[in-house]
Each structure stands twice: as structure tokens, then as C-alpha cells.
Amino acid sequence: MSLELRRNVSEWWYGRLQANGRRYVKNLGIKVEGRIPPTLRETGDIVFERSRAKAQAALEKAQAELKRRSSAEELVQTLHEIRTGSRVRSVPLDELPARWDGLLRRRPLSEAYRVQGIKRIERFVAFVRKTSPGLHEMAQVQASMATAYCKMELQRGISAQTYNQIVIHLRSVFQLLRKEGGMAENPFEDIPLREGETIFRKPFTVEELALIEKTAKDDPFIYPLIVTGMCTAMRRGDCCSLLRSAVDLKAGFVTVKTSKTGETVQIPIFPLLRGVLEKAMAEPPVRPPFYVFPTLEAHYRINADHLTDRVRRVFKAAGFYNANPGESDEDTGSRGQVQQAREHGVRRASVRDFHSFRVSWVTVALTAGVPLEIVQRVTGHRTTDIVLKHYFQPGKEDFRRTLAGKLPALLGDHTQRAADEFNLADLRAKLTAMEDSTWRHIRDELIGRLPVEKNVTPPALPGRAFAA
């Protein structure tokens, strides 16, 4: 037990403590005052010696408290050992990330979530190390430390959503390791989440989707990913990691277990998607696991930001980009921004990105009258609340047109077209998507949507006669 000075670094007295074979360094909360001698073995002026005496008293008090705690902890250990035959276990703070990473789970974590989770734990451990150098065990983490850490995170100016993700994650970490770490309480248990603004991604219209698909053809590398996202509503990682075994071209369905929720979804293969899948499946498989798009999978696994950049390039070429500060979309010719400033938050929120294809699919499907249960079978969402709150984002015109088409008598508009007639935008998108390998499928689909006329004899084609 001894006093310590940190010259030119801190104005406070520090003390070295020892208990249970471990050494600790504690800020005693006493300011160093007066003329400081060259070494602590020498005597300073009266002001300095007075501050030294206060620090010594604080050190002795801290040492006595540490011994008292050690005795109480040892008593608890002894009682636990008598009752169970083993001592209370503990988890060193430095091992917290590895222990969380090694937990048994119902299904493995995605690599991106795993890396992010480890970084969040390491950031909290670094904070504890800096503010409480003598703290080494998970069981020593108190609620006050968790509260101080959360206040520090808020001071960074992060959004409420990011803050809530951090709190929820650390709360889960301590809950999962609480018994192993010998903790009676979870220090993050009572920390409240924050209410904040929710910025939803904006869906693309059918015309905008057709424009993006046409623009993406100039980039053969990213084109398959964009088409797959448009036609399946799958997340980017699921699109890149799509296995050949999940694609049944004969039955016309893709069957995938989603990486986020673990739900098995069934997605019909539309003509535009069929052309992309047939071309990809015609290539010889490289090595197991046999991915439909092995190059995209490799880029997603190694550097997913590269895919984000390529998608943004396509969006920009199609007219979707951020206007310069002080300029409106009309001034720059932008069809719409891809990012939006938050009221609170360090980074801008993304409103048009690859995930917008998923929002677009849900919005177009529900607006067209597809049952919500069918939409959930495709998207893999477990609750209808998530679909309706975060993914169904119809525009005012789509809302008006759909209601007018479904409720003509109530609205008193008898000039509306029948519900089964073609929507010009939908027809234009399908015709634009026609290629050599898909035109037959698109033709059959369009013919199948035509109303059947009774007692009509088909006209005879030149050189052929129809039997009566």
C-alpha cells in the first residue's frame, strides 16, 4: 500500500492497494497541492505535506474497505461452496467478447452481426478499464458503470436507434453470461431505451423500378443482385448467398431460410428473375457450397461496402442521389435523395438503398391487393405489425387509386377501370423486362390476365384453318 503521483498527467493523488493477491490503483480524489519534491521520499512544503496526509488517510480508508469487501466475498464463496460443492464462477472482463462469441445458439450469428457485437463489447470493456483501472471481473460491473457508459454514448450524438441497439445488445450479453459470471443483477437491466424519430426507407414506384433495372444493365456485375432483390424482396446477404439447391426453375420457386429470422420463405420466380437465374445456373459450379452468384457472395463476405457502392452508382445513374446543401431536388434534377439528415444522430439515415427493394416489393404487393399472409410467406416476417409499420409505405396516389378501384360504389366513381384490367405502368415494366429468354413467360402471364370472352371464335390465321 503506497501513494503515487502521476506528474504532468494528473493533478490527483493515486494509491496502490492489494487484496486477494491482486493489486489495484485507485484515484483517491485528493488534489496534489503545494511544491512537489523531486521524489516522494523527500519532503515538500507544508501545503504539499498537508495534501499528502489527506491522501494517506484516504488510502488507508480505501484499503480497509477493500479488505472488508474481500472478507464478505470470501464468506459468500465459502457458503456457496458448502451448499454446491464448487466456488462461485467469474468471467474476466478481457474474456467477455470471446465468451459471448462462444455461446451456444439456436442458429449461428451472421458474420456482420457477430463482428459488430464483439466491437460493442470491447468498447464497453475499454471504457471500464479507463474509468476503473482496478476492475477486472465481470461480477464487479455495477449499474452505475453501465449508466455512465450510456451517458458517454449519448454525448457522441448518436441516434436513438443506435443507442437502443447498444443498450439492448449489452443487456443481452450480461443476461446470457450472468450466471457464469457470478452476477446477482444485470447492470443494464433498468436502463431505459430512448424514444426517437423513425425514418422509413422510401419505396420505388413500378416506373422507377423499371428505370433502375434498365440502368443496371450497364453494370453486368451488379445487375443480377439488383434484379434478385427487386423480384424476391430478399435481403442483400440472402441474395448474395443464394444456393443453387434453393432454386427450382421447373416448379418456379425459390425456397430460402432467411439469415435474420431463420424463417423459411417461398418466393415465386417471376420472368425477369428467371432470365437472371437461368443465365447464372448455366455457368458450371465453382466449389461447394454451390452459390448461384459465387462472385457476389465472395464480395459480400470480404467487402460488403463494395456492393453498396456499386448499387449507389446505379441509383445515381438512374437519377437518385443527394442534392447539394441548399439545393432542392428540382434544382439538381435528382429524382429523390438516397440519404436524409436525422434530427439527432451522427450519420444521415439511408432512405433509398438496396433494402428499399424489399420495401418496394411489400408496398406494391399489398397495394395491389395481395393478402398479407402471402406477403409474409415471401418476406419471412413473423408479425404483421413489422410489415405494416416498417415496410408498407404507399404513396398518396397509390393509396387513392387502390381504394378507388376496390370501393367504386362507395366512392361514387363509376369511371374507374375494372380491378382486373391492366395498369399501364405495370404493363410497361413487364414489356421493358422482355428478353430472349423471358419473353414467352411474360407473354403467357399477360395473356392469362386478359378477361375471357365467351362465344368468340378466334380468327383464322393465314394458311391455317380451325376445326369447327
**Environment class of 4 (CB within 10 Å of its CB; exposed 0-12, middle 13-18, buried 19+):** middle
Strongest mean pLDDT among 73-77, 79-83, 162-166, 368-372 = 162-166
pLDDT above 70 covers what percent of the chain?
Answer: 75
Name beta bridge partners: 248: 253
3-state secondary structure at position 198: coil
The mean pLDDT of 292-316, rounded to a whole number, is: 93
Q: Are 87 and 80 in contact (CB under 8 A)?
A: yes
List Cβ neighbours of 250 (8 Å cut-off, separation of 6 or more): none
pLDDT band at 364 (very low <50, low <70, confident <90, very high): confident
The Cα 94–Cα 76 span in angstroms is: 24
Q: For 313, how many CA atoms within 13 A lie in the half-sphere containing its CB? A: 14
pTM attached to this predicted model: 0.56
Q: Which helix (H) or strand (E) holds 350?
A: strand 349-350
pLDDT for 401 beyond 90: no
247-248: strand order across its sheet = 247-248, 253-257, 264-268
Lowest model confidence (mean pLDDT) among 334-343, 406-415, 439-448: 406-415
pLDDT above 90 covers what percent of the chain?
Answer: 38
The Cα 222–Cα 233 span in angstroms is: 16
List Cβ neighbours of 409 (8 Å cut-off, separation of 6 or more): none
Question: Which is more confidently placed, 68 or 279?
Answer: 279
Superfamily, domain 206-392:
Intergrase catalytic core (1.10.443.10)
The Cα 186–Cα 146 span in angstroms is: 10
**pLDDT tens for each residue of 229-250:** 999 989 999 999 999 999 999 9
Q: Which helix (H) or strand (E) holds 76?
A: helix 46-84
3-state secondary structure at position 223: helix
The Cα 208–Cα 216 span in angstroms is: 12
Distances, alpha carbon 37 to alpha carbons 2, 31, 49, 234, 381, in Å: 17, 15, 10, 70, 70
**pLDDT tens for each residue of 192-206:** 998 766 677 888 988
